[in-house]
Amino acid sequence: MVILGSLMAPPLFFADSVNDAGALMFARGDFLSVFDKSQREAMVMLFVRLHDHLIWANAFFWGLWLFPLAVLVYKSGFLPRLIGAWLFIAGVAWLGFSFTRIAAPQYNWMIDKVFNSASFGEIVFMFWLLIRGAKVEKQVSATTAS
């Protein structure tokens, strides 16, 4: 979970800042006067789309880290098993979102309809912990039991 959730995503976001900077440089056009306005606008759109693709490539890791979390929740007994199953389905949803946005963008509408409600597994997990908390069994000490 640490590798997929916290060590893979931040470097991709950091690398994505290059796309943001490139889009800004072409939009300003200070020293890029050799390009005409339409060429600069096309380059801005290129960098904006590269930014979008890198965000969805990062969503692949958002989905992958949910699988170990789902297994932990499902097997722990501290939270309802339904939330663990929902987290697993949310991981599949994020992988579906990521794959279709990059490889088959013509099917975005279909994946959004199928997986949109499934991707709320993380939100349900968060609100369950905030409102109900984890179920902690009270342990009886050896002195009070005798």
Cβ contact 87:73 at 8 Å: yes
Taking only the tens place, the pLDDT of each residue in 59-77 is 888 889 899 999 999 998 8
Whether pLDDT at 139 is above 70 = no
Cβ contact 83:124 at 8 Å: yes
- Phi, psi dihedral angles at 134 (to 5 degrees): -85, 145
pLDDT at 78: 83
* CA 96 and chain centroid, separation: 11
Taking only the tens place, the pLDDT of each residue in 76-95 is 888 889 999 999 999 998 89
